[in-house]
């Protein structure tokens, strides 16, 4: 899954296109050699894009809250991020943003783990509906 950052979080570049569905299934397994899924039953997740790591404002946030854009199939170790075109159409283009995905263990645990992160770009769609 790309290179490792200094903190051990896998780094993977992503690109969103304005006005298009962003659909990203993330499988969480023991390791690349053993594809046994890690059971995420009861976990929640959050996906955040910012202009920079230090930026206080967010560009986009998705969560496992109702209609939040993230679903988790716990026993399959599958986290799916789905951002509809109506939302991506509102985004401004940017080349050097950053993102991460955090997972949160079910209560009573307070474990919070960075699952993946890296550079993010948002580009304008070439194909348009009005043409």
Domain of residue 66, CATH code: 2.60.40.10
Q: Read off the pLDDT of residues 19-64 as tens digits, 9 standing for 90 and up.
A: 999 999 999 988 777 789 999 999 999 999 999 999 999 999 999 9
CA distances from 22 to 7, 57, 78 (A): 27, 21, 16
Closest CA to 12 of 21, 24, 29, 30: 24
Domain membership of residue 119 (yes or no) is: yes
Domain membership of residue 6 (yes or no) is: no
Domain membership of residue 36 (yes or no) is: yes
Domain membership of residue 44 (yes or no) is: yes
Domain span including residue 22: 14-123
Q: Read off the pLDDT of residues 85-126 as tens digits, 9 standing for 90 and up.
A: 999 999 999 999 999 999 999 999 999 999 999 999 999 998
Whether the pLDDT of residue 13 is over 70: the answer is yes
pLDDT band at 3 (very low <50, low <70, confident <90, very high): very low
Domain membership of residue 128 (yes or no) is: no
Domain membership of residue 47 (yes or no) is: yes
pTM for the full predicted model: 0.89
Tally of structural domains, the chain: 1
Domain membership of residue 2 (yes or no) is: no
């Amino acid at each position: 899954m790309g290179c490792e950052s200094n903190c051990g979080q896998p780094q993977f570049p992503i690109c969103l296109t304005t006005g298009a569905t962003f659909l990203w299934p993330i499988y969480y397994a023991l390791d690349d050699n053993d594809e046994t899924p890690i059971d995420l039953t009861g976990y929640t997740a959050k996906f955040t894009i910012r202009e920079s790591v230090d930026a206080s404002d967010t560009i986009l946030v998705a969560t496992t809250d109702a209609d939040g854009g993230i679903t988790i199939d716990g026993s399959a170790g599958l986290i799916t991020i789905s951002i509809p075109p109506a939302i991506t159409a509102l985004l401004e283009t940017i080349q050097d943003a950053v993102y991460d995905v955090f997972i949160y263990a079910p209560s009573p645990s307070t474990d919070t783990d960075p699952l993946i992160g890296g550079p993010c770009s948002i580009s304008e769609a070439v194909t348009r509906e009005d043409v």
